[in-house]
């Protein structure tokens, strides 16, 4: 378990460098640099696509898109979900009950369909994708935070702080939230995998990040047409997407195991 965690961490660090420097280090990711559908070579490490663009740079830019979308969505979902979860326990009844009904109601929608609906009535592009995926991601965080906070609320050290007459915000920020950071981090890692997968699915369906900006999903979709002539074109984005999902799950599981009190 521990070995896999570090393998995952190592992979994610490499991916981060890949996403930052890969898109421009050798070739531009947007314009043709060679003849189309070339196999890998010294000049184009991953070959070229149907328009003669460098696949290495495009996969790297796809990584950048996936990470931007993934981290933005997780950040928004964490902040909003944590807020809702805390209100769900400490809030006044008029705020608490409607928010909790809303949270429960959100679980009734299949995530990807809800995201498609939001993008459908709004628009495609980076911002709509982030917003749509955030809306599907926060209820899970809210439910987790709510159950965690509900048990923390009755822990003696929290009661002890409340007995001082300290304001609820003080108690929440000083004695409740610090105990949630590790479990939230672990869950966010696993959820990040889901978000990246969902972003790829949206791009695959052609309603994600607007072309010609590359994304793993749209690259997979484009490569389908050349599966017999240049199958490697399909392999690169699929492989990196799969490896990224694996790595995030390894890291998330490792963090969860480390925060599990039974392993202390």
Partner 1 sequence: MSPVLEAKNVSVDYHQGKRSFRALNGVSLAIEKGETVALVGESGCGKTTLARAILGLQSFEGEIMLDGFRVDGPRPGQAKSVGVVWQDPFASLDPRWRIGDLIQEPATVTREQIDLADLMKKCGLSEQFAGRYPHQMSGGQRQRVAIARALSLEPPLVICDEPTSALDLSVQAQILNLLKDMQGDVGCSYLYISHDLGTVRYISDRIAVMYLGRIVEEGPTEDVFSRPMHPYTELLIKSALTAENIGSLPESEESESRIPPMEGCAFRPRCPYAQTDCGQSFPTLFGDAQRAACFHPLVH
Q: Where are the alpha helices (DSSP H) in the chain?
A: 2-25, 55-90, 93-106, 111-121, 126-153, 156-162, 168-171, 181-204, 216-223, 232-259
DSSP state of 39: P
Q: How far is the CB of 194 from partner 1 (least distance, A)?
A: 30
Select from 108, 163, 228, 263 the one that contacts partner 1 (CB under 8 A): 163
Select from 2, 165, 229, 263 the one that contacts partner 1 (CB under 8 A): 165
Q: How far is the CB of 181 from partner 1 (least distance, A)?
A: 10
Closest alpha carbon to 239 in 213, 210, 219, 225: 219
Q: For partner 1, give the closer residue by CB, 27 or 175.
A: 175
d(CA 126, CA 210): 7
Window 117-156: contact mask with partner 1 (x via CB under 8 A)? --------------------------------------xx
- Residue 11 C-alpha from the chain's centroid: 16
Q: Per CB under 8 A, which region of 28-36, 60-68, 174-182, 241-249 contacts partner 1? A: 174-182
Is 245 an interacting residue with respect to partner 1 (CB under 8 A)? Answer: no
Measure the CA dihedral 111/116/122/123, to 10°.
Answer: 130
Is 42 an interacting residue with respect to partner 1 (CB under 8 A)? Answer: no
Q: For partner 1, give the closer residue by CB, 99 or 158.
A: 158
d(CA 46, CA 53): 10
d(CA 128, CA 126): 6
Q: How far is the CB of 159 from partner 1 (least distance, A)?
A: 7
Q: How far is the CB of 161 from partner 1 (least distance, A)?
A: 7
d(CA 52, CA 38): 8
Is 175 an interacting residue with respect to partner 1 (CB under 8 A)? Answer: yes
Residue 54: beta bridge partners? 48
Q: Per CB under 8 A, which region of 38-46, 73-81, 167-175, 217-225 contacts partner 1? A: 167-175
Taking residue 230's Cβ as centre, other Cβ atoms within 10 Å add up to: 20
Q: For partner 1, give the closer residue by CB, 179 or 256.
A: 179
Chain residues 92-121 in contact with partner 1, contact rule CB under 8 A = none
**What number of chain residues touch partner 1 (CB under 8 A)?**
17
Select from 131, 179, 210, 256 the one that contacts partner 1 (CB under 8 A): 179
Give me the helix-helix angle, 181-204 and 216-223, nearest 10°: 30
Q: How far is the CB of 183 from partner 1 (least distance, A)?
A: 14
Is 157 an interacting residue with respect to partner 1 (CB under 8 A)? Answer: yes
CA distances (Å), origin 233, targets 107, 177, 211:
37, 46, 17
Location of structure tokens 């929290």? 158
Q: Which positions lie near partner 1, rule CB under 8 A?
A: 155-157, 159-167, 170, 174-175, 178-179
């Amino acid at each position: 378990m521990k070995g896999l965690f570090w393998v995952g961490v190592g992979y994610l660090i490499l991916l981060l460098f890949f996403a930052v420097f890969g898109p421009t280090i050798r070739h531009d990711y947007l314009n043709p640099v060679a003849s189309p559908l070339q196999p890998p070579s010294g000049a184009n490490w991953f070959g070229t696509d149907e328009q003669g663009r460098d696949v290495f740079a495009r996969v790297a830019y796809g990584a950048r898109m996936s990470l931007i979308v993934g981290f933005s969505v997780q950040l928004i979902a964490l902040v909003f979900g944590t807020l809702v979860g805390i209100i769900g326990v400490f809030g006044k009844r008029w705020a608490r009950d409607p928010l909790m009904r809303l949270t429960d109601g959100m679980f009734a929608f299949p995530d990807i369909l809800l995201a498609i609906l939001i993008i459908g009535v709004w628009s495609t592009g980076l911002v709509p994708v982030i917003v749509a995926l955030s809306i599907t991601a926060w209820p899970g965080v809210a439910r987790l935070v709510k159950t965690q906070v509900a048990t923390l609320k009755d822990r003696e050290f929290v009661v002890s702080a409340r007995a001082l007459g300290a304001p609820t915000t003080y108690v929440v920020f000083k004695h409740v939230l610090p105990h949630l950071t590790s479990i939230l981090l672990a869950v966010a890692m696993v959820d990040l995998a889901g978000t990246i997968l969902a972003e790829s699915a949206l791009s695959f369906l052609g309603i994600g990040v607007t072309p010609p900006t590359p994304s793993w999903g749209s690259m997979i979709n484009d490569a389908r047409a050349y599966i017999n002539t240049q199958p490697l074109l399909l392999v690169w984005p699929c492989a990196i997407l799969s490896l990224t999902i694996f790595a995030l799950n390894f890291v998330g599981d490792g963090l969860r195991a480390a925060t599990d009190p039974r392993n202390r």
